[in-house]
Amino acid sequence: MPLPSLEKAPKATSNNSAAKRKATTVADADGDVPLAAAGADATGGDDSDSGDSDASEDPTFINVDFDFRAPAEVDEAALRRLLRQLFHTHANDLELYKVSEEMIRLAAGNQVTGEGGMGTVIKVEGDEDQAPFAFVTGIELNVRQPSNAASSLLTTYLASQLPATSPISSVLSSSSTSSPASKPWLFLHERFINLPAQVAPPLYRLLTEEIIASMSSSGAGEPSHAVFFGRVFSKEAYSDDEDEPMNGPGGAAEDDEDKPRGMKGAKRRKGITKKAKLPVNKGERRDWGYFRPEDELLEKHASHTHTYRFPPPQNAEDSYESPLYGRIVLVEWEKVKSGALWDQLERELTVQAMVAEQQ
């Protein structure tokens, strides 16, 4: 998969101090990027064979030019959808509109103090009204102000998933004292699943620069930690073990030709044969799968992580859904502020992409 090439572009809005960049990349058409919404020509297969209808109707890749822009009010509904994707089954219990509204407010900056905006969305170039494919924003945790309901909401949510003995819990709780020893910032990011991971380092780099600029202009102290949140799944639940019997209604093994294969087959096999017990944070090492490849790399630089299980959706038994887990990652600010972490992340993701392309 070709890697995104980044170049400077005009400021997305007059209020945003950091110039957004444009990325040209290739997205897998089998995933979440809708071809019509992308506004790009989709081609595939052998163009010389006009009789091959499958090549034109089912492309493997589409070329898309992306703009890195500041979030705007027109994006709020789409931002909430991405937030619901990120928080999975817990989304129903969270007032995520408070987060999407805060994202729009942060992007606008402060006209009185001249403080620049914060946050980025990825859109198709030339179509500002189109829903964003990704976002990143920074929210200072445990800010006890009525005007920042998102901070209180997210701090309470993250703290509720942590045991009292967790070092991450200590960081969050100490930030609420009158003389805070810790000042954690949540780096909140989500995207369509088939956007390449190479868009993540530029997003995180921009956000880091914007947080530093915001702290400098307001005179506030710099953060103590960066907190990252994402989802993982157990590879055990998605294993494609052909030796595991799959019994039909009568108890006999079904014919091989009728077995669902791949990830869907793995879901169904696990759902029919047994319910796997997947404990976490009990000292048991587990082979995790990552929706965002950069999350696995970020954990190498973390001081602490915590993983917890999302409750299953209501239709999980009928659809044989595998359990998903939330993961909280704590990284010291010293590792983030120089930007070296994002440079390293970019190099590692580039190597991963090159290896995948050769396979």
| pLDDT digit string (tens) for the chain, length 359 residues | 444 444 333 334 333 434 454 443 434 433 333 323 333 333 333 444 444 545 456 656 677 788 999 999 999 999 999 999 999 999 999 999 999 999 999 998 865 555 678 999 999 887 778 899 999 999 999 876 767 899 999 999 999 999 999 999 999 986 555 445 689 999 999 999 888 899 999 999 999 999 999 888 887 888 999 999 999 998 876 655 444 433 333 333 334 344 343 444 444 433 333 333 444 554 445 789 999 999 999 999 999 999 999 998 887 666 666 789 999 999 999 999 999 999 999 999 999 988 988 87
- Joined together, the tokens standing for residue 56 give 């034109």
Tokens of 149: 């309901």
Residue that has been written with the tokens 């976490």 in this structure = 280
Residue 299 CA, distance from chain mean position: 14
Residue 144 makes CB contacts below 8 A (sequence gap 6+) with: 152, 176
Q: 126 by DSSP, 3-state: which?
A: coil
The two three-digit tokens of residue 23, written as one number? 């990325």
Six token digits for residue 199: 């868009």
User: For the whole model, what pTM was predicted?
Assistant: 0.74
- Round to the nearest angstrom and report the end-to-end CA distance of the chain: 11
The domain locations on the chain are 5-237+278-358
DSSP 8-state code for residue 103: H
Mutual angle of helices 200-218 and 340-358, in 10-degree steps: 170
Other CB atoms within 10 Å distance of the CB of residue 250: 6
Identify whether the C-beta of residue 116 lies closer than 8 Å to the C-beta of residue 20. Answer: no
Query: Three-class SS of residue 243?
Result: coil
d(CA 126, CA 39): 9
Q: Are 167 and 303 in contact (CB under 8 A)?
A: yes
State pLDDT tens for residues 266-297. 444 333 333 334 445 544 457 899 999 999 99
| Token pair 């006009």: residue | 50
- DSSP class of residue 114? T
How far apart, in whole angstroms, are the C-alpha atoms of residue 286 and residue 76? 36
DSSP structural state of residue 110:
B
